[in-house]
Amino acid sequence: MKNLGFLGLLFMGLTAQAQTLLTPEQLWKLGRVSGKGISKDGKSVVYSVSTPNIDENKSSSKTYVIPIGGGNASLITNVDDLLVNPKISPDGKFKISSEEVKVMKVTGKDAYPQLSKSNVLIYDQLNYRHWDEWEDGKFGHVMLTPTGGGAAKDLMEGEPHDCPLKPDGGDEDFVWSHDGKKIVYVTKKKFGTAYAISTNTDLYAYDLATGSTTNLTEDNKGYDLQPAFNQQGQLAWLQMKRDGYESDKQDIIVSNGTTKMNLTAQRDDLHVDGFKWSEDGRSLFFTAATNGTSQLFQVTYPGLTKMMPIITQITKGDFDVNGIIGQSGKTLVVSRADMNHASELYTVDIASGTMTQLTHVNDATYANLGMCKTERRFVKTVDGKSMLVWVIYPPNFDKNKKYPALLYCQGGPQSALTQFYSFRWNFQLMASNGYIVVAPNRRGMPGHGTKWNEQISKDHGGIVMQDYLAAIDNVSKEPFVDKNRLGCVGASYGGYSAFMLAGMHNNRFKTFIAHDGIFDFRSMYGSTEELWFPNFDYGGPYWDTKNAAAQKSYSQFSPSNFVAKWNTPILIFHGEKDYRVPLEQGLQAFQAAQLRGIKSRLVVLPEENHWVLRAQNAQVWQNEFYRWLKETL
């Protein structure tokens, strides 16, 4: 027995030595799995794998089919015979699509045709740019085309409105009714300043017989999104109630044509991310954040009965269900990830919640990588609340050693911090570089109730900053944390948090990294495009001197007001095509740090927006990130 024990320890040691640590290059060689749908016969799953090529600075994609019960995947080149095309009408006579249509004259060439080589944009009102594009007078319109040939009909002719919605909309924004008599599409029929300050999107139904269009959600003033019919003709969609509030509680609404029912209002803690109808049309499956993960749920639709909808959580565990591909009988196919694994497809037994991995695109890579332990920790906040904090440990963590730690500040600001797998802010990669990662579910995150989620609004630099400090203070008490080597990193609102904490951290941190963060509230209000965000979250414009909430935001929560207290090295990333948090925010922060004599570095990404999407740019980003930490931490 003693010899067997010795051999076991020897084997474990050799296994540990054989494991490698995740690198930025390996991260960007992983296949990115995306489910396309269930085959017509219900026996197979179609999915694609996109693989970045760093040398060519682009990605290639291949499509596969795999038996739903598991087995070998087969490469395919055409999915038409396998999948139902949801854009073809049920009778096969028509197809719907979206096409960019010139509606407005915006360019210098439009105004002065004789000046054909001019490169000028002329605007009389907002919204002159959005996300990463300048408004060019073209708008995405829903087009109805006979499949047998013939001219396409523009269902939004002459309208300065987009479907899909910009910047995040897709094919889910326009759908056929179950009987093919109507097309329902999503758009925001506002223009100019009204567009920039409103989130009031609506569902519009176009009647093929009459050619008329009806607003189905005129009574709701917030977001209405993602329409989907069941086979009984009942329409479901996602809805937020308040105009101008992009992070309102998102619920599933179902209409039978005469009455509407909110199926998820009963659960204050659930903010629905996405859904699909069940095959029988009697219930819907959906995903939502809960307690630091994203899980799969089912809710019944009672129809005309007087019963209440019943919500059941199907899956549980330290992972994210981040997409629903489809149903085949008693089985669902979903996409699942965790902090150690990129998304793969899994089957789910609807009755038991049992999950079985279906695709194995990255298994061979992960088999040789050191995995990171992820731990839930509950920390008391300054006002006595219990806050969930994810702690991610380096591979082969040894509690008898000392490790530097990184406070990770999530963006959003109201986006869930769950078991996601990011190809930029990758916790496994951070931990594999020897850092303990502290990731708090601070105020302003769904999955912990509406009050917790909304407490950040009009208080961006208030109690949330104390949440961050409570988290890092709690973890840094551990003997294995080197208190003299603490860093703070984040993007978007997380970048703002780094700027804000730089002026109030009382020498806790040795270094900061901020990506596309807000530095100055006034210039942010004067240059961002979706003005509903600062109107709601800051309280309004800076010139409204009688607005107490707004004046508090601009005076107390703008990091630019506290630069005199900065004393810590800071690395600043910014995408030049980021029109949400414009480049000037990063430039101002860097200039302030330089003039204060603080070690600082600015990395500008001229081709990138709020994200970093190109392979080689991403490699530079990662290498600069870890070079900075090596220099300063």
Q: Over the chain, what is the mean pLDDT?
A: 96
The pLDDT assigned to 18 comes to 59
Residue 456 covered by a domain: yes
Residue 66 covered by a domain: no
The pLDDT assigned to 9 comes to 39
pLDDT in tens, 200-237: 999 999 999 999 999 999 999 999 999 999 999 999 99
| Residue 139 pLDDT exceeds 60 | yes
Range scoring the smallest mean pLDDT among 1-5, 161-165, 166-170, 559-563: 1-5
Residue 492 covered by a domain: yes
**DSSP code at position 82:** T
The pLDDT assigned to 305 comes to 87
- For 458, 482, 550, the CA distances from 242, given in Å and listed in that order, are 16, 45, 19
Residues 6+ apart with CB under 8 A from 86: 171, 175, 176
Judge whether 551 and 561 are in contact, CB under 8 Å. no
Out of 177, 492, 553, 558, which one is annotated catalytic?
492
pLDDT in tens, 338-348: 999 999 999 99
d(CA 347, CA 223): 31
Give exposure, 384-421, as e/b (b: 16+ Cβ within 10 Å).
ebebbbbbbbbbeeeeeebbbbbbbbbbbbbbbbbbbb
The pLDDT assigned to 2 comes to 40
Q: What is the DSSP string of 552-593?
A: HHHHHS-GGGGGGG--S-EEEEEETT-SSS-HHHHHHHHHHH
The pLDDT assigned to 306 comes to 82
pLDDT in tens, 604-624: 999 999 999 999 999 999 999
Task: Give the domain extent around 491.
Answer: 370-632
* Count: domains in the chain: 1
The pLDDT assigned to 182 comes to 98
| Residue 8 pLDDT exceeds 70 | no
Out of 39, 89, 578, 600, which one is annotated catalytic?
578
| Residue 115 pLDDT exceeds 90 | yes
Judge whether 580 and 522 are in contact, CB under 8 Å. no
Residue 396 covered by a domain: yes
The pLDDT assigned to 238 comes to 98
Residue 541 covered by a domain: yes
| Residue 169 pLDDT exceeds 70 | yes
Note the pTM of the prediction, 2 decimals.
0.96
Q: What is the average per-residue pLDDT within 31-54?
A: 97
Residue 390 covered by a domain: yes
Please name which of 112, 108, 226, 76 lies closest in space to residue 164, comparing C-alpha atoms.
Answer: 226
pLDDT in tens, 445-479: 999 999 999 999 999 999 999 999 999 999 999 99
| Burial grade of 544 (CB within 10 A; 0-12, 13-18, 19 or more) | middle
pLDDT in tens, 492-530: 999 999 999 999 999 999 999 999 999 999 999 999 999
Catalytic residue list contains 271: no
The pLDDT assigned to 16 comes to 45
Catalytic residue list contains 219: no
| Residue 328 pLDDT exceeds 90 | yes
- For 190, 520, 554, the CA distances from 195, given in Å and listed in that order, are 5, 24, 24
Q: What is the average per-residue pLDDT within 146-160?
A: 97
Judge whether 80 and 147 are in contact, CB under 8 Å. no
Residue 410 covered by a domain: yes
Q: What is the average per-residue pLDDT within 30-41?
A: 98
The CATH number assigned to the domain holding 572 equals: 3.40.50.1820
| Residue 278 pLDDT exceeds 90 | yes
Catalytic residue list contains 492: yes
The pLDDT assigned to 454 comes to 97
Residue 276 covered by a domain: no
Q: Identify the helix (H) or strand (E) that includes residue 32.
A: strand 32-38
Judge whether 484 and 568 are in contact, CB under 8 Å. no
